[in-house]
Amino acid sequence: MPIQKVLVVDDSKTELMFLTDLLQKNGMLVRTAENAEQAMSRLAEEKPDLILMDVVMPGQSGFQLTRTITRNPAYADVPVFMCTSKNQQTDKVWGMRQGARAYLTKPVDPAELKARIAELG
């Protein structure tokens, strides 16, 4: 099933605009959240086909939020891609342990993101 609805979770308005623009150009519907609380309410409103998750955010980190989402039976089937400036191997391993399906470092390479999304579909 092709990815159509994406939830982008990032506290950076610049990053939200960049990813939203990129995904919309590829025909996807994008919703955004700037923190864990907004992300959970967006999830409750409408289940996305994919979540792009920042790591460093105020309040709950993307690692914590990814774990919460991927361990919730209602959302366990929604793939989470971490999109973060944290580029240490230990961060990547930790992100994957929390349930992320992919770990992309910022600035996100549009071709890499599209390729990873295509692998899901």
Please tell me the predicted confidence (pLDDT) of residue 51. Answer: 98
* Mean pLDDT along residues 73-78: 97
Please tell me the predicted confidence (pLDDT) of residue 93. Answer: 96
Amino acid residing at 47:
K
First vs last C-alpha separation in the chain: 5
* Mean pLDDT along residues 77-99: 96
* Mean pLDDT along residues 48-73: 97
Taking a C-beta distance cutoff of 8 angstroms, is the pair 57, 25 a contact?
no
For the stretch 34-48, pLDDT in tens is 999 999 999 999 999
Domain count along the chain: 1
Asked whether the predicted pLDDT for residue 28 surpasses 80, the reply is yes
CATH of the domain at 32: 3.40.50.2300
Kindly state the tokens that stand for 76. Answer: 């366990």
Task: Provide the domain limits for residue 42.
Answer: 5-120
List helix spans (H) across the chain. 13-25, 36-45, 62-70, 89-97, 110-120
Please tell me the predicted confidence (pLDDT) of residue 1. Answer: 64
Question: Could you tell me which residue, 77 or 1, shows the higher pLDDT?
Answer: 77
